[in-house]
Amino acid sequence: MDIALGAQLIDSLRIGLILLDHRGQVVSWNGWMKRHSGLTLADVAGRRLEELFPEVSGSRLESSISDTLRFKLSAMLAPSLNPSLLPLYHRPGDRQRDQRMQQLIYVSPLRHEHCACLIQIHDMTAALRRERRLRAQSNQLIETSYQDALTGVGNRRRFDQDLAQRFRQAKDKKRPIAMLMIDVDSFKAYNDHFGHQGGDACLIRVAQTLRDVLRRDGDRVSRYGGEEFALLLSDADLTAACAVAERLRLAVEQLALPHPAARSIGRVSVSIGIAAMIPTDEQLCYILVAQADLALYTAKDAGRNRCMWYDAESGIARPLPDSALAGLHSK
C-alpha cells in the first residue's frame, strides 16, 4: 500500500491511534488524537506519554504499556474502572471545564523494528451516557412498579419484598423486627358518604401523614390493600414499635378530617395492630403479619381509634403499655 494513502487512512479513522517504540516513545499519532488532544505529531514525537500527560504516571495505562513493552502482554482499560485516563476532549470548551471524553483503551504488542506498542482509544462518552440514561429509566420503572398508584406509598409488592428481606436480616442478626398493621376506621361508611373520590382523597391524606411522621431512614409505609397500610420497623422492639404506632394514630386523628359516620369522635381515625419479635430459625415471616393482623382486629373490636399489641406468651392482644404512651399525648 502507498505510504501516503496508509497515513491518510489512519488519520481518517474515528479512533485514536498511538504507536510507541521499544523505549515507550511516541512514533505515530493520528489525526483523531490531534483533534481531541490539541497536540500534533510534531509536539509529541520522541516523547513518552507520562511526559506529555503527567497524570499517566502511576496509572493502569502506564503499567499496561510497561507490560506490553517488556512481556508482550495485551491489556484493555475499561472506562468504568479507569475513567478518562487521557486529557481528550470533544470541544475546546470541554477542556476549560475539564469534561473529558470517556475512553476505552486497548494496549497491544507489535513485533516491528521501530514499533513495539499500539494504543487504540475509543470514545465511549455517548455510549456511557446512553447506558446511564437507560439505567436511570430502568430504576425509575422498577421504583414505579413498587409504588401504589393512588397514595404514592409502597404497594403490596413492595411490602412483600421488604418483609422477606428484613425478616431474614433480623433472623440472621438476631435483632428485633416489628410490624404495624394500620386500618382506616369505618372507611366503607366514609366512602358511602363522600363518594369514591372523597374516599380516595382521604386515603391519600392518611398515607402522606403516615409517611411524614416516620423519623428513621428506611422506614417505609406500604398500602397493604384497600384502606389498610403496613409498616415494618427493623431493629425495633415492642416498646419502640408501640411508641411509633401511637404517634401515627395521633397524627391521623389530628388531621381532623370530618367523618359523620364515626360517632365517637366525628373525624377520620385509624386502628393499629402491633407485633414484634426476634425471629428464630423455625419461624416464617408471615407469623409476624398474622400477629399484627390479630392485634389490629382486636383494636377494631375494642372500639377503633386505638393501638393494640400482640402478646406472644398469652396469644392475645393487649392495650399499649404506659411506657409507650409516656409523653406522647402531652405534645
Asked whether residue 8 is assigned to any structural domain, the reply reads yes
Between residues 306 and 4, the one the model is more confident about: 306
CA distance 275 to 23: 72
Domain boundary among 76, 101, 129: 129
Length of the chain, please? 331
Domain boundary among 129, 155, 189: 129
Helices (H), 31-155: 31-37, 41-44, 49-52, 60-71, 92-97, 125-145
Asked whether residue 331 is assigned to any structural domain, the reply reads no
Q: What is the pLDDT of residues 24-69, one digit of tens each?
A: 999 999 999 999 999 999 999 999 999 999 999 999 999 999 999 9
Mean pLDDT of 147-173: 95
Residue 262 has a pLDDT of: 83
The yes-or-no verdict on residue 304 having pLDDT over 70 is: yes
Do 24 and 74 lie in a common domain? yes
Query: 26: domain CATH number?
Result: 3.30.450.20
Q: For residue 2, name the pLDDT band (cuts at 50, 70, 90).
A: low
Asked whether residue 69 is assigned to any structural domain, the reply reads yes
Residue 217 has a pLDDT of: 86
- Percent with pLDDT over 70 in the chain: 95
Do 151 and 118 lie in a common domain? no
For CA atoms 165, 169, 174, 180, the dihedral sign is: negative
How far is CA 219 from its chain centroid? 15
Do 108 and 177 lie in a common domain? no
Asked whether residue 283 is assigned to any structural domain, the reply reads yes
Asked whether residue 102 is assigned to any structural domain, the reply reads yes
Do 125 and 185 lie in a common domain? no
Asked whether residue 150 is assigned to any structural domain, the reply reads yes
Do 60 and 106 lie in a common domain? yes
Give me the half-sphere count of Cα atoms (radius 13 Å) on the Cβ side of residue 26.
20
Q: For residue 331, name the pLDDT band (cuts at 50, 70, 90).
A: very low
Q: What is the pLDDT of residues 189-245, one digit of tens each?
A: 999 999 999 999 999 999 999 999 998 888 999 999 999 999 999 999 999 999 999
Domain boundary among 67, 99, 129: 129
Q: What is the pLDDT of residues 90-146, one digit of tens each?
A: 988 888 888 999 999 999 999 988 899 999 999 999 988 898 898 888 877 777 789
Do 150 and 298 lie in a common domain? yes
Residue 180 has a pLDDT of: 98
Do 254 and 182 lie in a common domain? yes
Do 180 and 319 lie in a common domain? yes
CA distance 5 to 3: 5
The yes-or-no verdict on residue 261 having pLDDT over 80 is: yes
Asked whether residue 330 is assigned to any structural domain, the reply reads no
Q: Tell me what the pLDDT averaged over the chain comes to.
A: 91
Asked whether residue 139 is assigned to any structural domain, the reply reads no
Q: For residue 176, name the pLDDT band (cuts at 50, 70, 90).
A: very high
Q: For residue 325, name the pLDDT band (cuts at 50, 70, 90).
A: low
Q: Which residue do the cell numbers 504507536 mark?
A: 19
Q: Which residues are identified as catalytic? A: 227
As for how many domains the chain has, the answer is: 2
Residue 83 has a pLDDT of: 77
Q: For residue 178, name the pLDDT band (cuts at 50, 70, 90).
A: very high
Do 117 and 155 lie in a common domain? no
Residue 15 has a pLDDT of: 94
Do 255 and 282 lie in a common domain? yes
Nearest to 323 by CA among 243, 231, 211: 243
- Rg of the chain taking only CA atoms, in angstroms: 33
Do 115 and 152 lie in a common domain? no
Query: 251: domain CATH number?
Result: 3.30.70.270
Q: For residue 85, name the pLDDT band (cuts at 50, 70, 90).
A: confident
Q: Which of 12-16, 168-172, 208-212 has the lowest mean pLDDT?
A: 12-16
Do 75 and 187 lie in a common domain? no
Contacts of residue 213, defined as CB under 8 A and 6 or more positions apart, other chains included, come to 247, 248, 251
pTM value?
0.65
Which residues form the domain of 231? Answer: 146-325
